[in-house]
Structures are given as C-alpha cells and as structure tokens.
A and B are shown apart, each in its own frame.
Chain A
Amino acid sequence: MNLFSNGLRGWKRSWKDDLRASVSVAFIAIPLGLGIGLASGVPPMSAVIPAVVGGLIFAWFSGGNVIVHSTPKMLIGVTAAAIITLGADDLFQGYRIYLAAIVFAGMIQFLLGTLRLGVIGDLIPASVIKSLLAAVGIIIIVKQLPVLLGSHLHPKNLIELSRVVPEVMSDANPIVAIIGIASLVIMFIHSQIELPVVKAIPAAVWVIIVSILYSYGFDFQNGGQILFFGYGPEFLIDIPAHVSDIVVHPDFSLWKTSTFWNVVIAVVLITSIEGILSTKAIDRLDGLKRKSNINKELSISGLATSISGLIGGMPVIPGIVPSSVGVAHNGKGTLMNVFQAIWILVLIVTLSSQLQHIPLAALAGVLIHTGYKLINPKEIVNIYRIGWDQILVFSVTLIVTLVSDLIFGILAGTVLTIVIHIVRLRSVVKLFTILFRPNVVSYQEDEDDSYHISVRGYSNFLNYPQLKKALDVIPNNAKVVVDLSLAEFIDHTVMEHLAEREENHIRRGGEFEIIGLDTHLTSATHPLSVRYKGSKVGVSGRQTLTSRQQKLQSLAEEVNWQFDPSVALFIKDLDSFHLLRHKSIDRAYNKVSGNFNNAQVIIQDIDFHEGEFQTKVTGQSTVAIIGLTNTIPLFTIEKEYLFDRIAALAGFDDIDFKNFKKFSNTFRLKGEDEPAVRDFFSNDLIRFLEENLPYRLESNGHQILLIGKERPMSLGEIENLLEFTKNLIRVLPQH
C-alpha cells in the first residue's frame, strides 16, 4: 500500500517549491484560524491548532496532493451554539465538552472514510449545499458586523441584528471602526490592485500588518481616549502568552447525554461535507492535474480531528483558502502542508506578543469578506436562472438554517427536493423504486475504445452514486460519451455533477461529451437546469441551447455554414429513402447546413419511431443529406454481413467490382439500374469509399443520404461526418 501519497521521489523534486510556498501559507493560516476561532466563540488559538496537527502529523498520509489542512468555516454557527448549550452558561466548560464531541466526531469521520462513504457528500442536493454556504456567510456577517464597528452588542441572528441596528450604530467606536472598515476595504480591493509588491502578500496578511501598526500607533495595549471614545485591550485579540497555555484537554463528562451526541452528529456532517467540497475544489487548483483520494482524505482528516480535539483544537479539514494560496505560490506537494505547520509553530512562539496587538475589528473585516464570498450573490442569481424549484429549495434551506440550525436546514432542503421530485414523477413509489434500481450502463465502443455511458429513466441526486461509480473507473485520458437520451428526468444536482466531471476530465486530457439532451424540456434558461422528457411531439418555446447545440453552432460558424436548432415536424425529403423506410420521422432538428462545390449539405438530428400507437418505439439518429444539382442513379451501400455474402454468392443483387476486391467484400452495393450504377461509381469514388465508410449510404436520384448509428452523434462524430461529406462531394463524378 502506498502510504505516503507523494513518495520520496516526489518530495525530492518539490521540496524547494513547497518550502517557499509554505511561508505564505503560514502567514495566511494564522489570521484565518484566529478569525474563525473568534467567530466561533472559542479561544482563537484553538482554530490554529488544526493547521498544525494536520500539517505536522497527518500531511504524510493525506489523500490529496496540494492539500493544506485548516479548520471548517461552516462549523462556526454550530460551535458557537454548542458551547453555550453544552456549557450551560460556563463558556469555557462548554468549550471543553465541545472538544470531547470533536474527538468522537473525528473517529466517526475516520470510519466513514474507511468504509468509503465519501459519496454522502454527493448525496445532498446542489442547491442545499449552496444555501448552507450562504447561511454560514450570513451568520458570520451578523456576528462580526458589531465587532467590526467596535460595538459591545452581540446579536444572535439576522432578525435580532436588524432590530438592534440603531443601538449598534450608536454604540460604535470610530477608533475601532476605522481599522475594521479599512481591513474590509483591503480584503475587497486587494485582488484588483496590480502592483507586484501588493500582490505578493495575501490580503489577510496586509490586514494583519496594517492593523498591528494601527494598534501600536494608538497604543491599544495600554488604552486611551480620543474625544469621547475610549479604547483599550478589550478590542484586541486575547492570546495566551505561553504556548503551553494554548493546550486544553477535553471534558468527557457529558458523553452519555443526547445533547452531546446531537452536537457530535452535527460536527461529523458539516465537517465531512465541507471537507469533501474542499478536496474537490483543491483538485481543480492542482496544476499537475492529480486526483485526490476523497475517502482516504476523509478518514485522515477524521483522525487528525480527534487528535486536534484532544489538545484543545477545532476539527481538521483540507482548507481551500490555505491550499489555494499555496498553489498560487507554486506549491506542488504534501511537504507544503508540513512546512506551513512548522512555520506556524515558529511564528506563534516568536510573534505571539506581536499577535496580541491585532485588533478584533481587523479580523472581523477578514471574516466579513469570507462571509460575503460564502454568500456569493452571483451564484444566487445563477440559482434563480436554473429554475424556480432550485431557488425555492435554496430559500427554504437558508431560512430554516438561520432560524434553527444547519442540520435542520439540510433536512428541510433535502426533503423539499424529494417532494418536488415526487410531484414531478407523480408517484411516491416510483421515487423509492428508482433508489434501488440500477440506471447506468457503461461499455467501451468497438471502433475507438471510447466509453459510452448510458443513463436510463430517472436520474437524480439520490441515485447519482451509480453514475458516479461508472464515471470513476474511466481512465483519465479516455474519450467519454454520456448518453442521456434514454433518461426521462435529470435533476439539477446530476447536471451539475456532470458539468464538474466534464471540466475535470477535459482538464486531465480526456474528451467528455454529453449527448441526448437536445430534445429534453427544461424549466428555465440555464444549461444546468432540470431536464425532462415531454409528452408532446413539438418542443416548448422555453427550450434553451444545450452545450452540444452551442458547440454545433460554433462548428457551423467555423465553416461559414448555418445552424438552426429549431424543430421541423414535416420532413418530406427523408421519406423517399429506403434506409429510413421502416422509420417514421417525427421531427428533425439541430440542422447544420451549407453549400460545398455546388452541393447543398444538411446535417441534422432526427427523431423517429417504429410501429404505431401502442407498438410505438422511438429512437434518435444523426443523418447527412447531400443535395445534388444533377441526377444520379439509385443505389444503397451498407456493410456486408456474412449472411449477405452468401446471398451475393448466389448471384443476387450485390454489385461487385472485380478490380476492387476489398470494396466488394466489405460493402453491399445495390441498385436497380446496374449499368448506370457501374457507370456512376468511378475508380476514385470506390477508392474513397473503400478506405473508410462508417455510414450507411443511399441515393434517391438527386440526394445522397448518410446515416450513422441509431443514436445522436457526438460532436467529434459530426465533425468527421462533415469532413467525410465534403470529401465525398469532391470525388463524386461531375462535381
């Protein structure tokens, strides 16, 4: 077993880069940890401990590559509430009991990871997770706004804050508020400043430098008074003078109570969810495009959480902020995590007296910026565009989370999503049956070894693990086609997971395409909206371009052709072809058309059905039609099967060419007027077809039809078809 994720050789190669990057990481990790600790209502240093424990002990076994450990932001609300309920007014006692809960939570998370249950992170609807993040953002802002302004009030929630706004404003301390607002401004404008000197140092570190100077300038330590506003050490962070004072041991006395276990479950859930989300996000940052082992990381950070809890620290997770700072500073491997932990220890020992000069308001500025990022207003607009159902789930989760807690928020959002799905499916039983039924088949195509993944029936967040399993075993550089044409319903969560997969797979050098969505209906104008099959033949006006259609559009523009996604219901031309005689064409759409060498070429998707009323079965395909100006003989060409060869031996119907053995053996050419067909098939034409003809081909006298497989073609296949069509026109006689 490869216990050490990067191995000695990897460390040797990357240690210099990692060492350099780790300095920046440590500098950002300290204010981040202190801020989270403060916001949670625990001793600030307890939130720095996770970075040290994770980096020093567990980085060596991490499931990731550029992961730097940190503590979960989403837990702020849970922690703040838990120490009050567990401690019954004695906050320090509450904190010690909470540490015991962290120890248990870590062990449970370790089990989850060992049992490879990391998939639970995917089982929560996407909108619920976005809502949780936003809720945490709001909680942070509500709690930190008075601190930022130097007020002594501590409103518990949004409603209370709105009620006490006038008091907060009158209680505000301008001396404190100046540095608070200044740090907030630094956080917001830092990314816009192009100066290399400014850019080299992360925003939070600037805040620390500026605020320590400010604090020295006004001599906060000894206090003072300017005009009517007094200031003093109560506005500064409280850090123990000795490192040994940081260590606090947990109190296990309440472990038999249900309140205790409620907290444990909340910690496990939130920590796992945020850990999994961060691990995925960190993977997207990795310039070397490696894939983290989510389950391994889950159990390793679980162990780290237990150890951290034992010495007075908050839970440990892969931290997105320190990791991205590390990657931005060219960090490449696990050693970055180890070095940053060492730097943190060094900085705390040497600088703890300086750190005590940091005003709380400055950290509040950093936290409010984090809160704003978590709310992510742009994303809310996006959710609104994805559909009314998503914004409903989002709002309900948000409100429930804010008035009760995260766990109820998750429950409410998930239950609401299930209810919406039940309404869509019009059946409760159906929803539960799909849970226990497979709905995915994945196989390799014979022609090019590409992976074809077909999804059938209902696909939603509850049965996504099956699709995930199929996607997980696909090699990184392979070509993948996800065919959703048999799926009747695909929810937003699955669409989002697929989009994420597409991005990751393409980044790792593979090809990824989603097909079969073009005729699904959708409730809104967003590529990630819910898709479902309508019963009507026509497509509603609310349909929007899928990514395949967008690609087709750009393909058409590239060659100066037209693209028309609209649906044509009566397709006269196609009926005249024998190859389509058993199929009734319902509609044609996604028309790519243009002229080439006097010939009019149309490539389009078609929906057809075979049989009528109760025997009706529908299918999809992509066809090309070449309209010619001159008349040509009627003929069909298809791949010859063994059976046909026998028929040909009996002297029937296959027109063979003596000079072209391969062509004659591979293909069956049929035509009513044999001499005319022989005349039409020039040597050039035969040679061209002999080389490669992956389609069935037919002439109806003035048009040539090309059909591929009985499924819509992927973009690559359409490109090939287009190229093939052009080459065919080139070799056609009289063209």
Chain B
Amino acid sequence: MRALSPLFFAQYDPKPLGNALYIATETSRTMALPYPFCKVATAIAFSPYAEANLHESARIAEMLEAELVLIHVGSKTEQKLKKLDLMVSQTVIDPAKVKVEFREGDPVKCILDSCEENGVDLLIAGAQKKENLITFYTGSVARKLCRKAKCSILLLTDRSVIRNKCREIVVSGDDHSKTEDTVRTANYFGKVLGAEHITIVDEIDPKKGVTAADDDNQLAETARKRKEIKEKEDQRIENLETKLREDDCIAVGHKCIFGKPGYTIGHYAAAHQADLLVMHSPDAELGIMDRVFPHDLEYVLSDLPCCLMIVNQASKEVA
C-alpha cells in the first residue's frame, strides 16, 4: 500500500484536491468496510449554491468511486437538460457515471422515492443557513430527509468537508447495536477524505451516575460511581478501537462524557471544531412530537455544529 500523508499535500502541493483524490482511490480499494458507498445522490436545482453543492457531491462521488444520481424536482425540459450537462461537465466526475432524474411533486417524497428506486447508498444535501432558497431546502427539506431517509445521509453545512481540509471527525460511540458499523463507516469515510483523527464520543446519561451532589459526601459518592461507569465504558470503546485497527484506521481517540444523549455529542463537536459528525440513524422514524420534545438526533438537527453524516443500517441491505 502506498499511503501518503494528506497533510503533506495540503501544505506543499498547489493542487491538494487532486492528490487527496488519488489517496482516496487507493484506500477505498484496499479497505474492508461495512457500508460501501457505491451510489451517491444529491438534489439539484439552478442556483449558485446548488452548483456548489453539485461540485462537492461530484468530488465526493469521485473519491468514493461511486456513481452519482442527480435528482431534480421539477419538470423536464430540453433547456434544463442542456444546462445540467454543462454543469456536470465542469465538475471532476466522469459524465458517464452521472444519472439525472426528473421528478415532479413534493420535494422530500421525490428525493426519497428516487433514492429508494435507484438503490442510493449516500444522499448528500446542502445545509447552508444564510440563503433563502437553501433555507427552504435545509431548514425543512434537508432535515426532513434526515428524519425519513432509508439510506445514509451527508449534510454539508457551513464547514465544507471538501474545500477545507477535514481534520477531525467526531463519531457517536454509544452502547447500541449500530455503533460498530457506524464507527467503521466513519473511519472509512474519514480515510477517503484524508482526515487526521477520529474521536469516538460516548455519551453517558448522567442519570446513570448519581446526579445528586449537594454536599461533600454525595459529591464523593457521585465521583466514585461515575468513575466505575466510565471504566466500564472505556473498556467497551477500547474493544471497538481494536476492531477498528483491523480495518486499518486513522488515529483514534475516545471520550466518555456524562451528558444528555444526543445533545452532548453535537456540543462537543462544536467545542472541538470538528469537521464532520457521524451518527447512526434513529431507531424509529422521527415525527412531530420528537421536534416538540427534542431528543437524540433532533438536538443535532436543530443546531448543526458541522457537517453531519447519518449512517443508516438500511443501506447495508441495498449493498
């Protein structure tokens, strides 16, 4: 295997992206992974932001050596087709690997149906905050997609994974059957992007440790119980790390934090200026009540700290 330091290129090569791409194809071929991303999809419209989104999706698809499905919600016209062809030709991806779909109707439903029919593994959606049209897509559509999608989703926020170097990835390591696959996927994806470090964050519900610490005795008792729980959790994560090393991983660290599950990891990612946050999909489809009383994923969705990837079990079946 010929692996090169991505940072080396980032610093001294005038065209870091091309080289990052090169590493990507090398690693993705050699790595075993639970969820290969063979088909990537994104919604496409005609605006400068949508164009930026297309460029990034194309780059990611190219890095993953995947096909790219472009979903346009709206009527199909010759003019649009021409324009799309032109847009695609300006990106890094081979136009032969691009498929364009036109659908009419409710955007969320169209995108989800198209993903399902095409067997998409990874849906990319932009989530910039400041543009009105994008707000339409992100404020409601992108988040709706996150709640309902059957495949994995990558939400690109303010911090672009591609344009800036992706250094730090934060991945959820809670005690859940999906966690192992999620962490392995994060490692794979991080490697493709040339990330430097992954932190596995384990959120421990503070109710498990004693929360009462009104006086010195209770404080000592809480500290003792928390230490006990932490040691146990540390052991579990270390086992996970061992498995990750078999995959050939990037540098891994972990952090056990007592805090509200779902919220804590997002705040940690923000505090540590992580570039990508990876979480597993929710167990049940999220509905309106979950937004009124936010929990888990809803916390992150309502205030995105950085790019977010939701790894979905369902994509495994497709693969």
Contact = CB atoms under 8 A, between A and B. Distances in A.
Interface of A: 2, 63, 116, 118, 290-296, 436-443, 446, 452, 454, 456-457, 469, 472-473, 475-476, 483, 486, 578, 581-582, 610-611, 613-617, 619, 636, 638, 641-644, 646-647, 650, 652-653, 668, 670, 710-711
B318 interface: no
Given A293-B218, A443-B257, A615-B160, 19 more contacts: A2-B217, A291-B219, A292-B215, A294-B214, A436-B293, A438-B264, A439-B267, A440-B267, A441-B271, A442-B259, A472-B219, A473-B222, A476-B216, A483-B271, A582-B10, A611-B163, A611-B164, A641-B197, A643-B5
A218 B2 CA distance: 107
Interface stretch (B67-75, B172-180, B247-255): B247-255
Given A293-B215, A611-B159, A641-B251, A652 B8 contact: yes
Contacts of B1: 646
Contacts of B11: 578, 581, 636
B4 A454 contact: no
B164 A641 contact: no
Contacts of B267: 438-441, 454, 456, 486
A443 B226 CA distance: 12
Contact of A291 (B215, B253, B270, B273): B215
Given A293-B215, A476-B216, A582-B165, A441 B5 contact: no
B5 A652 contact: yes
Contacts of A647: 3-5, 8
Interface string B268-299: 10111100000000000000000001100001
Given A578-B11, A611-B163, A438 B260 contact: yes
Interface in B11-55: 11-12, 49
Interface stretch (B78-86, B123-131, B309-317): B123-131
Given A443-B257, A473-B223, A641-B251, A653 B5 contact: yes
Contact of A441 (B2, B217, B257): B257
Nearest to B230: A444
Nearest to A295: B214
B4 A615 contact: no
B158 interface: yes
B96 interface: no
Contact of A438 (B49, B226, B272, B299): B299
Contacts of B196: 641, 643
Contacts of B102: none
Given A296-B215, A437-B294, A473-B223, A442 B258 contact: yes
B212 A116 contact: yes
Nearest to B126: A614
A2 B130 CA distance: 57
B229 interface: no
11 contacts: A2-B217, A438-B267, A438-B299, A441-B271, A457-B303, A473-B222, A473-B223, A486-B271, A611-B159, A617-B159, A668-B5
B128 A615 contact: yes
B168 to A, nearest CB: 9
B214 A441 contact: no
A114 to B, nearest CB: 12
Nearest to A443: B257
B104 to A, nearest CB: 29
A475 B223 CA distance: 7
Interface in B189-221: 196-197, 206, 209, 211-220
A476 B272 CA distance: 26
Contacts of A668: 5
Contact of B263 (A437, A469, A641, A644): A437
A710 B306 CA distance: 15
Contact of B268 (A441, A446, A644): A441
Contacts of A653: 5, 8
Contacts of A443: 255-259, 268
B253 A446 contact: yes
Contacts of B197: 641
Contacts of A116: 212, 214
A614 B130 contact: yes
B214 A437 contact: no
Given A296-B214, A296-B215, A442-B257, A582 B164 contact: yes
A63 B214 contact: yes
B319 to A, nearest CB: 26
A652 B215 contact: no
Contact of B250 (A486, A578, A616, A642): A642
A261 B200 CA distance: 54
A611 B158 contact: yes
Contacts of B49: 614
A437 B131 CA distance: 26
A387 B183 CA distance: 49
A614 B131 contact: yes
A423 to B, nearest CB: 22
A582 B271 CA distance: 19
Nearest to A649: B3
Nearest to B212: A116
Contacts of B216: 290-291, 476
Contacts of A469: 206, 211
A2 B267 CA distance: 37
Contact of A643 (B220, B226, B250): B250
A42 B13 CA distance: 86
B268 to A, nearest CB: 6
Contacts of B158: 611, 614-617
Contacts of A293: 214-215, 218
